[in-house]
Amino acid sequence: MIASLVFILALGTAAIQDPAAVRQSETDFARGVALQQTGDYAGAREAYEAALRTVPNRIDALSNLGVIYARLGQYGEAIKRYRQALSIEPKQPEVRLNLGLAFYKTQEFELSVRELSQVVQEQPTNYQARFMRALCNYQLNKLSEAISDFETVYSAKPDDIATAYALGTAYIAANETAKAAPLVDKVFRQINTAEAHLIVGSFYLVMKQTPKAIEELTAANQLDPRLPTLHSQLGDAYLFSGSREQAMKEYTAELQTNPNDFNANVRLGWIYREDGRLDEAADLLKKALDLRPQDVAALYQMAQLAQTKGSNAEAVVLLERVIQRAPDYSPAHVLLARLYYKLNRNADAERERLTIQKLTEEKQSKEPTAESQALKATAAASTEPDVPQRLKLASDYYRKGQFEPARHEVDQVLATQPDNSQARLLLGLCYFQLGRLRDAVIELEQIYAAQPDDVVVFTLGLAYINLKEFDKAEELIKKHFRPAKTVEAHLLNGTFSIAVKDLPTAIAELSVAVQMNPRLPTVHSTLGSAYLAKGNREQATAEFRAELQINPGDYDANVSLGMLAREDGRLDEAATLLNRALETRPGEVSALFQMAQLQRVKGLTSEAIALLEQIEKQVPDFLPTRILLAQLYFKTDRKQDAERERSEIQRLTEAQQKFSEELLKRDQAKPSASGPTNSTVQSTTADTPTKKP
């Protein structure tokens, strides 16, 4: 009797259909099973579909057809068949398990958890369902739920390496290093597999032992470079060790094999935002939020991106979501306080200021170090004790060339004193040094409106010049620095003259500046740029070297001397100088281009191509990059890529010729005027030197 009921259930409505149809369906079904067992999935699919044509609601045929579609990678069709089978008879744990697996494959993790949870409820010892549910919760960043399931499975299968690996990974992600350590010692240090090296490297990364992490993760990369999350974690290791360029390469490599890696999307989005590549940053951060819509790190980075774009209201909404999910996350409160002040929401800003103060006091009470004790002692004597110390610390960082830490300290000051002009000026300088020119101008213009002193005018003028907003720069110079009386005035006049290609005036102005103060930062570097543009390499070299004697981190001096050293065949010296420039500004096009040229001269063609492709993404219309890239593609027999570059070179050349013709027509139609004309300014090319205050 029971066997008869099972047969009727499997056939669905077949039991009341024509016996001949049932027999034909059975024959087709049996044929499908045989073909499936031999690996002929296309044939099996046809057989199961034939079985369903005569008996449409056969549960076994629907289930097996779902398996076939899953094997063929057609998960949408698989999900459809599994759901049809479950609609006929819901109590089928194996079919529901397969449905959960299909949802996992399509990265619909919430739906997968729902189906797998029903399986676990019906079959508590179904360890495959528990393991897959844990994987889904791990992807959803629900680490405590994931760990619970992984622990249950590991207790039942202590010798299963895959479970141990998953559990160790979850412990490390949850920062439960005490639980991860025994697994790492017991299981993974003894195994020479890519997975073992990955989990040991991840453990070292959490323990902040970066050199060991890089060693283990590099070993994993040699064994299996396509292992998921490997390049992402290696990118973290390089980033934490200060190698920003190498970190970017690893994050990019991760996204090539695993576009949905959350960490790589967030980290690379953050780096691109800081480098001014805002559209690319937006794409990456949106992808991260698609993967984890409520993740604090992604929301915070997106808020910073919105602020950089000037969308302060949007940034506020995002930051309010951050602190709702993470009330103790100080950076979000700091940035939110600043934005509230900018939007004239003073009551909200004051609330945030008090929250920051409370969080700082709580942190100090939990970490009674000598430094925190000193801050507490100062607090007794001042209502805002940390402002002078933070400003001094920020200034020290700035003088050492550590602009990001300097910016962080200034942000802390502005959270409590948003009108502190010294902090705002220092913030503008930090933004300038980090290449965030728009942010620099926003800060400096506010200061200039209230306090138009020489330092502010000088810095703002340099920012305008670098943004090629020459009309604004010239207006400032005419208003404040003509006739020039100070060394800063001569330096700014000289910088502007280089930008508009008036080299004799530039050299005259900058020579006066050198005589007035030969130790003024960037003065020798700017004079060197003028001499170089005039063709005087020897004098330019002398000025660049003079700059580096007083200011070793000067970006332009390092790049220009690196270029000259490469052209003179001093390749090791060139590498040292260009690496130093890239440490100062990791994503700067001029340094990347010179480094690509150096790699080409050394015969490292693939490295040169990688750098040029990176430049091309940032500046698609930079013709020298495309010319060199086309040459290298031809050299490496990548003819299709070379032809694409050749077409782009032709397009850009024609566009430039057309622009020049239109410019000439406008010039001919204009009356002559004294001083640099608009046409002179507009014709300035992309190789204008970038100078810094």
Mapping DSSP onto H, E and C, the string for 240-251 reads: HCCCHHHHHHHH
C-alpha distance from residue 123 to each of 67, 109, 253, 650 (Å)? 21, 20, 41, 67
Its sign, for the CA torsion 33, 39, 41, 46, is: negative
Q: Which of 156, 191, 216 is the last residue of a domain?
A: 216
Q: pTM above the 0.85 mark?
A: no
Of 468, 333, 495, which Cα lies nearest the Cα of 414? 333
Per-residue model confidence as pLDDT tens digits over 124-183: 999 999 999 998 888 888 889 999 999 999 899 887 877 887 888 888 888 887 888 887
Its sign, for the CA torsion 492, 496, 501, 502, is: negative
What is the domain count for the chain? Answer: 2
**Cis status, amide bond into 483, omega within 30 of 0:** yes
285 lies in some domain? no
The pLDDT assigned to 309 comes to 84
Per-residue model confidence as pLDDT tens digits over 476-519: 777 776 666 778 778 878 888 887 788 888 899 889 888 988 88
Q: Report, as ranges of residue numbers, the positions in the chain whose pLDDT lies below 70.
A: 1-17, 186-190, 360, 363-386, 401, 415-416, 418-419, 451, 454, 481-484, 586, 659-693
The pLDDT assigned to 377 comes to 40
Of 626, 642, 644, 623, which Cα lies nearest the Cα of 634? 642
Kind and range of the H or E element at 323? helix 312-325
The pLDDT assigned to 595 comes to 92
* Euclidean distance between CA atoms 375 and 371, whole angstroms: 6
Are the C-beta atoms of 589 and 622 separated by less than 8 Å?
yes
582 lies in some domain? yes
The pLDDT assigned to 285 comes to 94
Of 188, 140, 136, 121, which Cα lies nearest the Cα of 161? 188
**Percent of the chain whose pLDDT exceeds 90:** 21
Domain that holds residue 546: 515-693
Q: Which of 187, 216, 245 is the last residue of a domain?
A: 216
Amino acid symbol at 25: S
Per-residue model confidence as pLDDT tens digits over 319-349: 999 988 888 888 888 888 878 877 888 888 8
Angle, CA of 676, 682 and 683, to the nearest 5°: 95
Q: Which residues contact 523 (CB under 8 A, 6 or more apart)?
A: 487, 491, 510, 513, 514, 517, 547
196 lies in some domain? yes
638 lies in some domain? yes
Determine how many CB atoms are found less than 10 A away from the CB of residue 252: 16
Name the burial class of residue 211, with classes exposed (0-12), middle (13-18) and buried (19+) by CB atoms within 10 angstroms of its CB: exposed
148 lies in some domain? yes
Following DSSP, what letter does each residue of 555-597 receive, concatenated? HHHHHHHHHHHHHTT-HHHHHHHHHHHHHHSTT-HHHHHHHHH
Give me Rg for the CA atoms of the chain.
32
Q: Which of 216, 246, 267 is the last residue of a domain?
A: 216
* Euclidean distance between CA atoms 489 and 478, whole angstroms: 10
504 lies in some domain? no
DSSP state letter for 328? T
Determine how many CB atoms are found less than 10 A away from the CB of residue 620: 11
The pLDDT assigned to 483 comes to 64
CATH number, domain at 175? 1.25.40.10
624 lies in some domain? yes
319 lies in some domain? no
